[in-house]
Each structure stands twice: as structure tokens, then as C-alpha cells.
Structure 1
Amino acid sequence: MRFVKDHPQYPAELLLRVLEIASSTFYERKRRAAQPSARQLEDRQLLAEIVDIHASSGGTYGSPRVHAMLARRGIGVGRERVERLMRRAGLRGAFLRREWRIGSTTQDPWARPAPDLVERNFTADAPNKLWVADATRIPVGEGVWPPTTMIIEPKVLPRCHPMSTARRGCRHALARSGTGFGHRR
């Protein structure tokens, strides 16, 4: 429809025939743009409220919180309608899901992995015998994701059965995602 509007030097009927669009469709859409329906007018007013709530939250509120704030203001509206209007306006809340997570490296499938010097055993017999490090990215303000490295010395734990809950808990806490590495002295 925009193509017809952008080329006024050609007759609209000719362009519609070339584009294989029914002229009734074009003129109906043109009429609706000039005379919006009651629902469209309500959506515009509701969108102004949604934008106000979203902006006052610093852009952090998603549709569930915006919906709750609208209810507090006494505006009865469905949750899916709020979602639809926010999606059309390009409004999103702040969240840490897959699409917001940014990996720090790309793994080479043909590269040899680094040797596991501690053999996934994160318990130490005495202090200062085992040091473990993990590189990760921590989200901070304004979308900056600086790389952060932590080096820790695990607690000295008594030897226990390999399937013990305490030992498994320690191992998983220190080697959260399998990206940690360690070195024994």
C-alpha cells in the first residue's frame, strides 16, 4: 500500500493491477487509516499508559508488571492485549534469558580440551594445596558485560563416599558449568 502512496505519478488502479492487489482492499485500508475504529483508539490510549509505565520503570518492566500496574491504576485490560501492544511498540522488559546472554568465547570443535589436572576432584587435603579459577561475565548497568575471573581456594573437606551429597554439592558449586579449571600443588 505504501508503494502506491509513494508513486503518485502513476494511477492507483494501474499499480494495484500490476501488484495484483484488489482495489477494494486498498481503498478499505485507506478508509480505516482515516477513520480508526473504537478499538484502535482505545489501543492508542492504552499504549500511551503502557509507555508511561515502561518508561517510569527505566525500561525494566515487562508485560506482567505493566499489566499489574495498569490494574493498580484501575485500567481493566487483558494480559495478552498488553503483550500484543508492547510487542508492536517494540517494548521489552529487562531479563536474562538466552537471547540476552552473550558467550565470551566460541569453542573450536577440533581443538583439544585443556587437561583436567584435578580430575574433577575439588576437595583438598590441606589448605593452600588446590586453587580453582573460573572466568565468567557478570551483567552490570547499561548493558556492559566485563569479563571477570575468580580464583578461590576450596575448603578442606573430610574424605567421603563419592556419591555423598556434600561432596557432590561442593563439586557442582565449584565447577558450575564445567568451565572451571584447577591446579594441584
Structure 2
Amino acid sequence: MNRCQFVEDHQRRYGVTRLCRILGIARSSFSHWQRTGPARQAADIELAARIRQVHRASDGTYGVPRITAELGEDSENVNHKRVARIMKAVRLAGLRLRRRHRTTIPDPAAAKVPDLIGRDYTASEVNTKYVGDITYLSLAGGKFRYLATVIDLASRRLAGRAIADHMRAELVVDALTAAERTRDSLPGR
């Protein structure tokens, strides 16, 4: 309920002037609301029906920005804030894309690790240069598993991998151990 509606509901008992002063609204604003309120409510009801139609046509995926754009294409100039207000009132929401899960949180106090390959991702011989990475795999229920890989730069083949529900150093060690088993040895290890 907005403040003007409150004033209208309680004006007989307390008076418009007193309620406007207490609620911090100008009496002229209340008078303007009284003149335009019912018309705006009728327009909001009509717009809500159109919003429902667009939302249903998108299989429930469109949110405020897309519905506003769709209404604009149909020559209905409407503000995105009004669309958001009406969608909230009728309990409609667009499909939310999953959030990115942050996998690396650097320690500001830790020393920088040197780039041993100097950004040169090529190798002339197999079993001389390896690179690794950790990524996450999202599962149902908002859970994750982490995948660590070791790749030989010469052959571009997967040399070792490990999957776990954590991102501790053991995950990388397990991937290196798997690569060592696959390749019989890792130079420099």
C-alpha cells in the first residue's frame, strides 16, 4: 500500500491535512493521486494482462528487460520500473541464469608463482611440457565437483585427471600422479 492510499483509507477519521503532514507528502500530491489513481490502477491491470501474455509466450523465461523491450515493439511505451513493479505484484519472474562460481581466490600475501613456460604453449617433443587447469562441474542441487587436468603440450592429449569435491592441493597432486602413471614419468618431478 502506498502513502496516498493510506491517506484515502483513513481521511474520514484523521483528516487529509494531518495525515499528509505526518506521512510527509504534499496535499497537492495526494489530490493528484486521487484524480489519477483509479485510472492508473485500471491501466496497470490491463498492462498486467499483457505482461502475463508476453511472459507465457516466452515459456516463463523473459524477465523485466525483455518484457519491456517486447512491449516497446508492440508500440506500448512503458518504463522498465513499472514493468518490474507490476511483475512483482502479480508474482512473475524471468528465468535466472546460474551464477558463476568463483573457483580461485588469490591470497594477497602469497608470493607470485613464476611463469615457467613463458606463455609459450607449444612443445616440440612429447613429455617435455605440461600444463594444468582446474574447472568446476555443476551438479543438481547447486553442488559442484572440481576437475583438475594435466595436458601434454606437444600432443595436446590429456595426461592425467582427478575429480574431487574440494579444490585443495591434493586434487592437483592426484592429477599429477595420474599423469605420471600414464606417461611412466614426468620430467622435473
TM-score by length of 2: 0.52
| Distance (whole Å) between structure 2 residues aligned to residue 36 and residue 65 of structure 1 | 23
Aligned mates of 1:30, 1:140 — CA distance in 2:
53
Partner of 1:166: none
- The structural deviation recorded for 1:134 is 1.3
How far residue 94 of structure 1 moved from its aligned partner, in angstroms, is 4.6
Does residue 48 (structure 1) correspond to residue 62 (structure 2)? The answer is no
RMSD of aligned residue pairs (Cα, Å): 4.4
In 2, distance between residues paired with 1:66 and 1:152? 45
Consecutive unaligned residues of structure 1, counting only runs of 5 or more, are: 158-169, 171-180
Maintained 8 Å contact 1:63/1:79: no
- Equivalences for 1:120-135 in 2 at 5 Å? 120-135=119-134
2:137–2:145 Cα contact (<8 Å) kept: yes
Q: Deviations over 1:2-55 (max 9, x none)?
A: 38728946444212124442223124324533343664343122112123234x
2:144 to 107, 129, 146: 146
Q: Tell me the alpha carbon deviations over residues 70-119 of structure 1, each in whole angstroms, 9 at most, x when there is no partner.
A: 69xxx9614864855654426445558xxx43423333333212233333
> Could you tell me how far apart the structure 1 residues matched to 2:5 and 2:82 are?
27
User: Is residue 130–residue 153 contact of structure 2 (8 Å, CA) maintained in 1?
Assistant: no
Q: Distance in 1 between matches of 2:120 and 2:57?
A: 50
2:17 to 4, 7, 13: 13
Could you tell me whether the CA contact under 8 Å between 1:137 and 1:145 is conserved in 2? no
Q: Which has the higher strand share?
A: 2
Percentage of identical aligned residues: 22
> What is the rounded CA distance, in whole Å, between the counterparts of 1:4 and 1:66 in structure 2?
28
Distance 1:79 1:119 in 2: 57
Higher relative contact order (CA 8 A, sep 6+): 1
Cα deviation, residue 128, structure 1: 2.9
Query: Match of 1:109, SS?
Result: coil
Distance (Å, rounded) in 2 between the aligned partners of 1:63 and 1:92: 7
Aligned twin of 2:74: 77
Distance 2:67 2:95 in 1: 9
Question: Which stretch has the larger CA shift, 76-85 or 130-139?
Answer: 76-85
Q: How many residue pairs align between the two structures?
A: 151
Matches within 5 A, 1:1-185: 1-2=2-3, 5=6, 8=10, 10-36=14-40, 39-54=43-58, 56-57=59-60, 59=61, 61=62, 77-78=74-75, 81=78, 86-88=83-85, 89=87, 91-94=93-96, 100-137=99-136, 144=142, 146=144, 148-156=146-154, 185=187
CA distance in 2, matches of 1:77, 1:148: 46
